[in-house]
């Protein structure tokens, strides 16, 4: 079993349970931090001392407080950690159940497992740890994502749409988005193309207008 495990989880009401779960698996060296920055430092340090962590169990969203942090969420943390220690195994333990986001974590960050916080997630987390230790990857133990978008859709929605919706949600009008896209080299960037894309999104999400579309995008966690 894993020897040295780091937990990145801000809520103490949850981290305590994770620690206990790890103890039940006879893992002796369990460390816990409440901030992403701290997690990164710990991993760096352990690496420098030639006693690197075997496994990182991380939440995705961390509460903001008085402290200024460079890494503000689990995605940034994992991306940073993988750059410095690519061999480390990673399990994400989060309440997020949108398959869009989960898939992107497997594809972009190459995490080893994803466990959705739920009514029976402790056992699932335990299983996930076992599986990852046995060398398996792409593990997800869900009630396969209830209120998320279907698989097909996810493929169609890309970074372009996210940018578009994000700018729209920030109050920019189409013209301004066009200018913005031209600045950042995002293509296509004509007024009409952007309108057309918005129309596709509206059709897809069954939205009556832009306002409705943004509301839906917020609800589904797309932006």
Partner DNA sequence: AGTTCGTTTACGGTTTTCCGTAAAAAACAC
Partner DNA sequence: GTGTTTTTTACGGAAAACCGTAAACGAACT
Applying CB under 8 A, the residues found at the interface with its own copies are 10-14, 16-18, 20, 34, 63-66, 93, 95, 117-122, 125, 143, 146-147, 168-173, 207-212, 214-215, 218-219
Exactly one of 69, 130, 189, 220 binds DNA (CB under 7 A); that residue is: 189
- Whether 141 and 120 have beta carbons less than 8 Å apart is answered as no
Residue number with CB closer to DNA (16 or 191): 191
Q: List the structure tokens of 13.
A: 């009401």
39 in Cβ contact with 56 (< 8 Å): yes
By the rule CB under 7 A, 215 interacts with DNA: no
Q: How many residues sit in the footprint of DNA (CB under 7 A)?
A: 18
Binding of residue 199 to DNA (CB under 7 A): yes
Shortest distance in whole angstroms from residue 208 CB to DNA: 7
| Binding status of residue 174 toward DNA by CB under 7 A | yes
**Which range touches DNA (CB under 7 A), out of 17-25, 110-118, 139-147, 167-175?**
167-175
Closest separation in Å from C-beta 135 to its own copies:
25
CA distance 178 to 174: 6
Q: How far is the CB of 197 from DNA (least distance, A)?
A: 8
Query: In DSSP terms, which residues pair with 4 in a beta bridge?
Result: 29
CB of 171 to DNA, least distance (A): 9
- Which is nearer to DNA, 113 or 177 (by Cβ)? 177
Question: At its nearest, how many Å lie between DNA and the CB of residue 178?
Answer: 8
Q: Looking at beta carbons only, is 119 or 152 nearer to its own copies?
A: 119
Sheet order of strands, 113-116 included = 29-33, 4-8, 55-58, 89-94, 113-116, 139-141
Nearest-approach distance from CB 190 to DNA, in angstroms: 3
In whole angstroms, give the CA distance from residue 123 to residue 100. 24
Contact region with DNA (CB under 7 A), list: 14-22, 122-130, 136-144, 185-193? 185-193
Residues that bind DNA (CB under 7 A): 173-175, 187-193, 195-196, 198-199, 202, 209-211
């Amino acid at each position: 079993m894993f020897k040295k495990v780091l937990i990145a989880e801000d809520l103490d009401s949850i981290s305590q349970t994770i620690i206990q779960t790890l103890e039940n698996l006879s893992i002796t060296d369990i460390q816990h931090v409440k901030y992403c920055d701290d997690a990164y430092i710990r991993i760096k340090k352990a690496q420098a001392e030639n006693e690197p962590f075997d496994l990182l169990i991380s939440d995705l969203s961390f509460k903001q407080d008085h402290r200024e942090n460079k890494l503000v969420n689990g995605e940034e943390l994992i991306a940073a950690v993988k750059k410095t220690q690519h061999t480390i195994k990673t399990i994400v333990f989060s309440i997020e159940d949108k398959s869009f986001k989960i898939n992107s974590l497997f594809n972009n960050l190459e995490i080893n497992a994803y466990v959705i916080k739920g009514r029976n997630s402790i056992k699932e987390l335990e299983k996930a740890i076992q599986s990852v230790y046995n060398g398996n990857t792409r593990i997800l133990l869900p009630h396969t994502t209830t209120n998320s978008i279907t698989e097909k859709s996810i493929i169609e929605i890309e970074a372009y749409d996210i940018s578009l919706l994000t700018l729209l949600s920030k109050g920019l009008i189409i013209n301004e988005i066009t200018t913005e896209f031209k600045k950042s080299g995002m293509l296509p960037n004509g007024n009409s193309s952007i309108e057309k894309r918005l129309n596709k999104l509206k059709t897809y999400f069954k939205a009556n207008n832009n306002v409705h579309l943004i509301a839906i995008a917020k609800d589904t966690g797309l932006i």
